[in-house]
Amino acid sequence: MIELEGLTKHYGDKVAVEDLTLTVRPGIVTGFLGPNGAGKSTTMRMMLDLDNPTAGTVRIDGKHYRQLQDPLTYIGALLEAKSVHGGRSAANHLLCLAQSNGIPRSRVFEVLDTVGLSAVAKKRAKGFSLGMSQRLGIAAALLGDPQVLLFDEPVNGLDPEGIHWIRNLMKNLAAQGRTVFVSSHLMSEMALTAEHLIVIGQGRLMADTSMREFIHQNSRSYVRMRSPEREKLLDLLHSEGIDAVAAGNGSLEVDGVPADRLGELAAAHQLVLHELSPQHASLEEAFMQLTADSVEYHAHDGEPVPAQAGSPPGGRSPGAPQPAGARPGEPQPTGWGADWQKKRS
């Protein structure tokens, strides 16, 4: 278990992490979400005592990191895959870590096998691809067979097979009763991996909830309808006491009424439909919604462009960079661009 209390980190005037109080529990994968620059890596560094908090505390199973004897046997972490001495072989890199933490030599070969690097155990790390380096970093995290594991953006730059492997590894580690805390800015990935979510934006806690609850609270499900007889359809819906909102492309969006009922209603009145599609918000959309709100909250100090009322969170200025993990052409919340806009101004 990891417990943060009032954890805060300022770099001069810059607030990287602000007053985070939360508990990361064992037995499940907890996703740590936030756009780039939200403070995820800084939080993880403080968990590992690599950065001193400006205020607040971190406890690992009730203890401060520096009170842990042979810390790799309590908490393992992958922060930077490439932060390995390139001249050392994979096996030697792990052996150095093992010897300084009272871990037997045989464990090095066990974890190399777990991550699929046995065949390149004697190869120097500097020749490793990003995917191999990620695997070596995970081997290091697993070395002390710790109950608590941290992974900072572990799937960045991996191929689909690697992503699939890491996802299953994390779930298995959690199923063994371990505490697994994994950061990402990739919503779609988290939706498949994490059971619990902690979301931060600009260093502050924005959500600490189950995945299911997060989607439920921050998004909506609705039915999209399109008809060449749009006005008739609108009249029909109103006469049934059903609210419909006009959306793009001449379509209507209806909340709270199942698609089946809407289809039967249209059929009973012989109205032609060109579309009748239930829309469920994905985690990505839920997250964008949440981030857009946070931008409004911070509007006085960041000069972001507020989302227009009645439109989905969007308003990305032309030419603004597409955030990593976004699908092309998808509307983006202003929150993603806020850091960039600040740097630019």
Minimal distance, residue 150 CB to ligand ADP, in Å? 12
Binding mask 41-60 vs ligand ADP (x if CB under 6 A, - otherwise)? xx------------------
Please report whether residue 294 would count as binding ligand ADP according to CB under 6 A: no
Please tell me whether residue 41 binds Mg ion under the rule CB under 5 A. Answer: yes
Q: Which is nearer to Mg ion, 250 or 321 (CB)?
A: 321
Min. distance of Cβ 261 from ligand ADP in angstroms?
44
Nearest approach, Cβ of residue 339 and ligand ADP (Å): 6
Report whether 226 contacts 250 (CB < 8 A).
yes
Interface characters, 8-27, with ligand ADP (x: CB under 6 A)? ---x--x-x-----------
Say if residues 98 and 142 touch (Cβ distance below 8 Å).
no
Q: Which stretch binds ligand ADP (CB under 6 A): 33-41, 213-221, 264-272, 298-306?
A: 33-41
Q: Note whether 341 binds ligand ADP by CB under 6 A.
A: no
Rule CB under 6 A: say whether 40 interacts with ligand ADP: yes
Q: Which is nearer to ligand ADP, 300 or 343 (CB)?
A: 343
Task: Give the contacts of 129 (CB within 8 A, at least 6 positions apart).
Answer: none
Residue (40 or 93) nearer to Mg ion, CB:
40
Name which of ligand ADP, Mg ion, none residue 34 binds, using a CB cut-off of 5 to 8 Å depending on partner kind. Answer: ligand ADP
Q: Which stretch binds ligand ADP (CB under 6 A): 40-48, 58-66, 156-164, 207-215?
A: 40-48
The smaller minimum CB distance to ligand ADP, of residues 22 and 121, is found at 22
Residue with tokens 């842990």: 68
335 binding ligand ADP? (CB under 6 A): no
- Tell me how crowded residue 309 is: count the other CB atoms within 10 A of its CB: 5
From residue 21 to residue 40, the character string flagging contacts with Mg ion as x (rule: CB under 5 A) and all else as - is: -------------------x
Kindly state the number of chain residues that form the binding site for ligand ADP, as judged by CB under 6 A.
11
30 binds, among Mg ion, ligand ADP, none (CB under 5 to 8 A by kind): none
Rounded to the nearest whole angstrom, what is the least distance from the CB of residue 34 to ligand ADP in the complex? 5
- For residue 134, the partner it binds in ligand ADP, Mg ion, none, with Cβ less than 5 to 8 A by kind, is none
Q: Work out which of 18, 24, 39, 137 binds ligand ADP, going by CB under 6 A.
A: 39
In the bound state with ligand ADP, the residue whose beta carbon lies nearer, of 7 and 16, is 16
- CB–CB of 74/60 below 8 Å? yes
* Min CB(290)–ligand ADP separation in Å: 15
Q: What is the 3-state secondary structure (H, E, C) of the chain?
A: CEEEEEEEEEECCEEEEEEEEEEECCCCEEEEECCCCCCHHHHHHHHCCCCCCCEEEEEECCECHHHCCCHHHCEEEECCCCCCCCCCEHHHHHHHHHHCCCCCCHHHHHHHHHCCCHHHCCCEHHHCCHHHHHHHHHHHHHCCCCCEEEEECCCCCCCHHHHHHHHHHHHHHHHCCCEEEEEECCHHHHHHHCCEEEEEECCEEEEEEEHHHHHHHHCCEEEEEECCCHHHHHHHHHHCCCCEEECHHHCEEEECCCHHHHHHHHHHCCCCCCEEEEEECCHHHHHHHHHHHHHHHCHHHHCCCCCCCCCCCCCCCCCCCCCCCCCCCCCCCHHHHHHHHHHHC
Question: Residue 38's binding partner, choosing from Mg ion, ligand ADP, none, with beta-carbon cut-off 5 to 8 A by kind?
Answer: ligand ADP
Q: Which of 187, 212, 158 is CA-nearest to residue 32?
A: 187
With contact defined as beta carbons under 8 Å apart, do 305 and 334 qualify? yes
Which residues, numbered 199-218, are part of the site for ligand ADP (CB under 6 A)? none
Residue ranges that bind ligand ADP, judged by CB under 6 A: 11, 14, 16, 34, 36-42
